């Protein structure tokens, strides 16, 4: 990142803001049902949200928020092989869980139902938002903008 003139503090802050926006979207995204749509509009909207339109769902699994989080975690573990191994091991474990969830998606959706899916989405949105705010705090503290403030 130094070659691009981007400091680690800026990357932490920017990545945190991006993750926060994604987290907020997860918490508040819902269909209100207050507007009416035709069947044709519903089909078009569903096809736009269908992940099969994108190659191998890569933007959802390894999108900018994910990549930013991994870069920040690896930067925090710089010079400490044990912490770097922990980040990589966690990443592999998460990918395996993601694979299992993709394979079992229909069964999970039937088990949780619509309400359960909304609850789980919001819980993960809150957790992601908390992680994002921590990244933002760490970035601001590392930049020296708020000297003397502990995170």
What's the confidence (pLDDT) of residue 59? 60
Which residue numbers in the chain have pLDDT < 70? 1-2, 30-38, 41-60, 148-151
Cβ-proximal residues to 7 (8 Å cutoff; 6+ apart), any chain: 1, 143
What's the confidence (pLDDT) of residue 54? 47
Q: What is the CA radius of gyration of the chain?
A: 19
What's the confidence (pLDDT) of residue 100? 93
What's the confidence (pLDDT) of residue 87? 92
Query: For the chain, which residues make up each domain, given as ranges?
Result: 7-143
What's the confidence (pLDDT) of residue 33? 46
């Amino acid at each position: 990142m130094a070659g691009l003139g981007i400091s680690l503090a800026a990357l932490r802050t920017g990545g945190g803001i991006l993750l926060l926006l994604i987290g907020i979207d997860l918490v508040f995204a819902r269909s209100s049902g207050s507007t009416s749509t035709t069947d044709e509009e519903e089909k078009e909207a569903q096809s736009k949200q269908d992940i099969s339109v994108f190659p191998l769902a890569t933007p959802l699994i390894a999108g900018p928020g994910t990549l930013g989080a991994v870069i920040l975690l690896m930067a925090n573990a710089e010079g400490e092989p044990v912490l770097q191994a922990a980040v990589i091991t966690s990443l592999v474990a998460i990918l395996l869980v993601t694979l299992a969830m993709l394979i079992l998606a229909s069964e999970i959706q039937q088990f949780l139902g619509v309400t359960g899916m909304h609850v789980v989405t919001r819980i993960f949105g809150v957790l992601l938002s908390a992680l994002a705010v921590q990244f933002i705090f760490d970035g601001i503290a590392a930049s020296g903008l708020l000297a003397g403030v502990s995170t």
